[in-house]
Amino acid sequence: VYATGTAAGKRVQALGGAKNHAVILPDADLDLAADAMVNAGLGSAGERCMAISAAVAVGPIADDLVAKIA
């Protein structure tokens, strides 16, 4: 995208967008993790560069974590 645009004499802002992940470990405080994930993913309407777009729950905590977010 950048090479094509600049070759045509255009100014280009080519931010690829981050795919930031949250990793929640089995010994995490799930209340704190759920709150942090919601704020990190939806703060500024999800438009900030460090917004998380994926979460990985390690071990058997996934269902409990989803319940706290829902």
Annotated active-site residue in 1, 7, 45, 49? 49
Q: Do the Cβ atoms of 51 and 44 come closer than 8 Å? A: yes
Q: In this structure, which amino acid lies at residue 63?
A: D
* 56 in catalytic set: no
Q: Show which residues are catalytic.
A: 49
